[in-house]
Amino acid sequence: MFSLLSMTLRTLTHIHMLALAVEDSSGVFSGQPIENVRQLRIPGDLIIGGVFPVHAKGSGGISPCGEIFETRGVHRVEAFLYALDMINAQTEFLRGYKLGALILDSCSNPAYALNQSLDFVREMIGGNSRMSEYTCSDGRQPKLLRNSSPKKSVVAVVGAKCRINVGKDYSIFSKNIQFFTHRVQI
């Protein structure tokens, strides 16, 4: 009974976090307003990326995303979060490491998914300007100083079929990111 209650509470917490992320006018739940980015960040030692069609493709207006896909998109995100919780609950499995996540909304559009998922490799290709400062202490060329707590790199990506296109495009950046192409029903 206790484990069922605990699992239900975790699921409701994830639904609440996802609802906040979707309802956020800037599309970001990480606390930093960035226009046209729809993402959910969960801290961890190893970050798993997820690209899911939470919204339908937009009609070409101001927003690139349309209506919410409850069964197609939100349920996939919930399944991903549930799996993450189950893995993190097994302390012996990862030997003290914790899995985190960077979940992105593809809006059922491969081009939009690729644009949004640049966060997966941003640190490898030069970092994020918000996380860096430039200083000229003696008049020479500025030095790039990293923030003391930079974002962790994504080590794997899972998600919908447009995620495969994202994986192909990222192959030019790094062979370190694993893209899972097998479709598994949960």
pLDDT tens digits for range 114-169? 887 776 776 556 555 444 455 566 767 665 555 545 556 677 777 765 444 544 54
Helix ranges (DSSP H) in 36-128: 75-89, 91-94, 110-116
Domain boundaries, the chain: 2-28+36-124+134-179
pLDDT at 186: 38
pLDDT at 16: 57
The CA–CA distances, whole Å, from 103 to 6, 61, 89, 114, 148 equal 23, 24, 20, 13, 24
CATH class entry, domain 2-28+36-124+134-179: alpha beta
**Residue 101: is its pLDDT beyond 50?**
yes
Q: How far apart are the first and last CA of the chain?
A: 23
pLDDT confidence bin for 94, thresholds 50/70/90: confident
Mean pLDDT of 37-47: 82
How far is Cα of residue 77 from the mean position of the Cα atoms in its chain?
A: 10
